[in-house]
Amino acid sequence: MIDTLFLVGLAASALRFATPILFAALGETMAQRSGVLNVGLEGIMLVGAFAGMVGAVWTGSPWGGLVIAMACGMALAGLHALFCLTFRVDQILSGIALIVLGTGLSGFGWRLTLGGTGTPPKAPPFPRLDLPGLSDLPVVGQILFQHQPMVYLGIALAFALAWFLRRTTWGLEIRAVGENPAAADAAGIGVLARRYGCVLFGGAMAAAGGCYLSVSQVGGFVENMVSGRGFIAIACVVFGQWRPLRVLCAALLFGAAEAAQIRLQLIAPHIPYQLFVMMPYVVAVAALVVVARSTRLPAALGRPFVPDR
Amino acid sequence: MMALASALGVTGAQAAEKPAALIIAQGGLGDQSYNDLANAGFKRGLEAAGLKGRTVESKDVVAQANDILRRASDAEFGLIVDLEYSHGTPMLEVAKDYPNTLYGILNQVRKAPNIVSVLFQEQEGSYLAGLLAASVTTDTSIKGINPEPIIGVIGGTKSAGIDKFIAGYIAGAKAANPNTQVLVAYSNNFADPALGQQMAKAMFESGADIVYHVAGGTGMGVIQAAKAAGRYAIGVDADQDGIAPGSVLTSMIKRTDVAVENVVKAYGRGEKIGGTTMAFGLKENGVGLSEMKYTKTLIPAAILAKVEAAKADIIEGRIKVWNVVEQGYPDYLK
Q: Under an 8 A CB cutoff, do B186 and A119 touch?
A: no
Can you tell me whether residue B252 is helix, strand or coil? strand
User: Is A265 an interface residue toward B (CB < 8 Å)?
Assistant: yes
A149-167 helix and A4-33 helix, angle to the nearest 10 degrees: 40
Task: Indicate whether B200 and B323 sit together in one domain.
Answer: yes
Task: Indicate whether B197 and B314 sit together in one domain.
Answer: yes
What's at B88, amino acid-wise? G
- Residues forming a β-bridge with B82: B23, B105
pLDDT band at B62 (very low <50, low <70, confident <90, very high): confident
Can you tell me whether residue A240 is helix, strand or coil? coil
Report d(CA A196, CA B291) in Å as an integer: 55
The answer to whether residue B11 scores a pLDDT higher than 70 is no
Q: What is the mean pLDDT of residues B99-114?
A: 94
Report d(CA A224, CA B191) in Å as an integer: 6
Task: Indicate whether B131 and B216 sit together in one domain.
Answer: yes
| pLDDT value at residue A117 | 60
Task: Indicate whether B313 and B184 sit together in one domain.
Answer: yes
Report d(CA A52, CA A126) in Å as an integer: 12
| pLDDT value at residue B9 | 40
Q: Which of A41-45, B91-95, B152-156, B236-240 has the lowest mean pLDDT?
A: B236-240
Across chain A, which has 309 residues, the per-10-residue mean pLDDT values are: 80 95 98 96 98 95 97 98 95 96 94 72 79 80 85 96 96 96 94 97 98 93 93 94 96 95 92 90 85 81 82
Report d(CA B108, CA B88) in Å as an integer: 7
Report d(CA B334, CA B328) in Å as an integer: 10
Q: CB under 8 Å to B106, separation ≥6 — which residues?
A: B38, B81, B82, B83, B85, B118, B120, B256, B259
Query: How many structural domains comprise chain B?
Result: 2
Task: Indicate whether B132 and B151 sit together in one domain.
Answer: yes
Task: Indicate whether B133 and B189 sit together in one domain.
Answer: yes
Asked if B232 contacts A292 with a C-beta cutoff of 8 angstroms, the reply is no
Pairing verdict, β B20-23 and B53-56: parallel
Task: Indicate whether B261 and B249 sit together in one domain.
Answer: no
Q: Under an 8 A CB cutoff, do A273 and B198 touch?
A: no
Residue B8 lies in a domain: no
Q: What would the DSSP string read from start to end of B44-59?
A: HHHHHHT--EEEE--T
Q: Please, where are the H alpha helices in chain A? A: 4-33, 41-59, 62-81, 91-112, 140-144, 149-167, 169-179, 181-186, 191-211, 229-239, 244-267, 273-292
Residue B5 lies in a domain: no
Kindly report, residue by residue over B208-263, the tens digit of the pLDDT.
999 999 998 899 999 999 999 999 999 998 889 999 999 999 999 999 999 999 99
- Residue B45: CB atoms within 10 A of its CB come to 27
Phi then psi for residue B214, to 5 deg, are -125, 65
**Chain A hits for B224, Cβ within 8 Å:** 217-220
User: Is A302 an interface residue toward B (CB < 8 Å)?
Assistant: no
The answer to whether residue B4 scores a pLDDT higher than 80 is no
Asked if B28 contacts B39 with a C-beta cutoff of 8 angstroms, the reply is no
Residue closest to B105 by CA, chosen among B115, B114, B96: B115
| pLDDT value at residue B59 | 79
Q: Which of B1-15, B101-115, B259-273 has the lowest mean pLDDT?
A: B1-15
- Residue A295: CB atoms within 10 A of its CB come to 12
The answer to whether residue B5 scores a pLDDT higher than 80 is no
Task: Indicate whether B25 and B95 sit together in one domain.
Answer: yes
Residue closest to A175 by CA, chosen among A306, A299, A41, A302: A299
Q: Under an 8 A CB cutoff, do B224 and A218 touch?
A: yes
| pLDDT value at residue B8 | 44
Q: Under an 8 A CB cutoff, do B30 and A217 touch?
A: no
Q: Under an 8 A CB cutoff, do A225 and B186 touch?
A: no
Q: In chain B, where do the E strands start and end?
A: 20-23, 53-56, 79-82, 102-106, 115-120, 150-155, 181-186, 210-214, 232-237, 248-254, 277-280, 287-289
If you count residue pairs, one on A and one on B, with CB atoms under 8 Å apart, how many are there?
95
pLDDT band at B14 (very low <50, low <70, confident <90, very high): low
Residue B288 lies in a domain: no
| pLDDT value at residue A289 | 85
What value, to the nearest 5°, has the Cα angle with vertex B102 and ends B98 and B103? 95
Compute CA distances A20 → A46, A122, A205, A237, whole Å.
Answer: 11, 21, 9, 14
Structural domain that includes position B93: 15-120+256-280
pLDDT band at B13 (very low <50, low <70, confident <90, very high): low
Residue B292 lies in a domain: no
| pLDDT value at residue A145 | 81
- Residue B19: CB atoms within 10 A of its CB come to 15
Q: Under an 8 A CB cutoff, do B198 and A111 touch?
A: no
Best to test chain B binding among A148, A215, A266 (most B CBs inside 10 Å): A266
Residue B4 lies in a domain: no
In chain A the domains, ranked by start, together with CATH numbers, are 4-123+140-292 (1.10.3470)
The answer to whether residue B30 scores a pLDDT higher than 80 is no
Q: Map A13-35 to HEC letters.
A: HHHHHHHHHHHHHHHHHHHHHCC
- Residue B296: CB atoms within 10 A of its CB come to 13
B122-136 helix and B160-176 helix, angle to the nearest 10 degrees: 40
| pLDDT value at residue B303 | 97
**Chain A hits for B194, Cβ within 8 Å:** 17, 20, 213, 217-218, 225, 227
User: Is A220 an interface residue toward B (CB < 8 Å)?
Assistant: yes
Task: Indicate whether B219 and B201 sit together in one domain.
Answer: yes
pLDDT band at B3 (very low <50, low <70, confident <90, very high): very low
Task: Indicate whether B111 and B146 sit together in one domain.
Answer: no
- Residue B21: CB atoms within 10 A of its CB come to 26
Q: In angstroms, how far is the first alpha carbon of chain B from the final one? A: 58
